[in-house]
Amino acid sequence: MIHQEKPEGFNPRFEVVSCFMEENGRILLLHRQDHKPEGNSWGVPAGKVDESESVGEAMLRELFQETGYQAREDELQYIQKVYVKYPTFDFIYHIYHLPLSQKTAITLASSEHKNYEWTTPAEALQKNLIRDLDACIKLFYKL
């Protein structure tokens, strides 16, 4: 469950970065490989922050690893962090927005994702999304 304020007893095990890559009102969704956690669901470029990097560095790394897009830090808009509390663990989730002036070529990391598509935020809510991504889409896009 996502919280905008730090909940009582919150004990994060790690931090995650995520990004709404957006071009012309459409966001990029990545279709997870079946063998991955929450396999066969759709998500946005995202991943854990490594111990030796900042959240910005982690976002740039994940964007490149998962999409092949080499973003610059000044292109990224930090939106907010939310607190995610699951029954077995907690983590901090950083949300970024990357507005693109034109559609970019996507090169998937085939070990992680099997497909991608550009879709409106409202259409994304109709898909089998990774856990709690719907709440993040609704929060950012005010749906």
Name the residue with tokens 């973003």. 71
The pLDDT confidence band at residue 67, using thresholds 50, 70 and 90, is very high
CATH number for the domain spanning 136: value is 3.90.79.10
SS in 3 state form for the chain? CEECCCCCCCCEEEEEEEEEEEECCEEEEEEECCCCCCCCCEECCEEECCCCCCHHHHHHHHHHHHHCCCCCHHHCEEEEEEEEECCCCEEEEEEEEEEECCCCCCCCCCCCEEEEEEECHHHHCCCCECCCHHHHHHHHHCC
Does residue 35 have a pLDDT over 90?
yes
Give how many domains the chain has, as a whole number: 1
Q: What is the extent of the structural domain holding 123?
A: 2-141
Best CA proximity match to 87, nearest among 4, 9, 5: 9
Which two three-digit tokens encode residue 10? Answer: 């919150």
CB within 8 A of 67, min separation 6: which ones? 21, 28, 30, 45, 104, 106, 107, 108, 116
Mean pLDDT along residues 94-121: 95
Q: Rounded mean pLDDT of the chain?
A: 96
Is it the case that residue 42 has pLDDT exceeding 90? Answer: yes
Q: What confidence category does residue 143 fall into, taking pLDDT thresholds of 50, 70 and 90? A: very high
pLDDT score for 68: 97
- pLDDT at position 103: 80
How far apart, in whole angstroms, are the C-alpha atoms of residue 20 and residue 121? 10
How many Å is the Cα radius of gyration of the chain? 14
Check pLDDT > 90 for residue 6: yes
Percent of the chain at pLDDT exceeding 90: 96
